[in-house]
Amino acid sequence: MEDRKCAECGTTLVGRSDKKFCDAYCRNSYNNKVKRADEKFIMDVNRILRRNRRILKHLCPQGKAVVRKDILDQLGYNYDHFSGIYRTKLGTYYFCYDFGMSPFIENSIKRARIVMKQNYVPSLDLWKVD
């Protein structure tokens, strides 16, 4: 009979024939590594979204605000990632969870309206026929 080894640390296994790990620590460590590798992209995008949300929340303590684009840029806002879209007559809001940002240009100055999501902002019905 050949020696079976722990999938994480390589220790010789004793006990059940289907055992893969020597203890709970090795099992958790192994599964965390596998999960981390499989979900790295998701974790990276979530980190960006959380950072964007923190920036918007910081700039919008009263629930509504208008800021210059260069302030968003200085704070490291990433325009490529958002969690939702809401369209209005004034423009499109790109939400990071519960805070939205709508870019616009006024007197040749790039600005953004920032709002905290309100109850009147409906969810999208993607299968609604216009």
Residue-wise pLDDT tens digits, 63-106: 899 999 999 999 999 999 999 998 888 899 999 999 999 999 99
pTM to 2 decimal places: 0.70
E-assigned strand segments in 4-120: 64-68, 84-87, 92-96, 99-106, 109-116
- Judged on CB neighbours under 10 Å (0-12, 13-18, 19+), 122 is exposed
Answer whether residue 5 shows pLDDT above 60.
Answer: yes
Answer whether residue 35 shows pLDDT above 80.
Answer: yes
Of the two residues 99 and 43, the one the predictor is more confident about is 99
Separation between Cα atoms, residue 105 and residue 60, nearest integer Å: 19
pLDDT value, residue 1: 54
Q: How far is CA 109 from CA 73, 74, 101, 103, 105, in A?
A: 14, 16, 16, 11, 5
Separation between Cα atoms, residue 6 and residue 37, nearest integer Å: 20
**Confidence tier at 128 by pLDDT (50, 70, 90):** confident
pLDDT value, residue 72: 98
Instruction: Kindly state the average pLDDT of the residues 34-47.
Output: 86
**Confidence tier at 3 by pLDDT (50, 70, 90):** confident
pLDDT digits (tens, 9 = 90+) for 103-122: 999 999 999 999 998 776 56
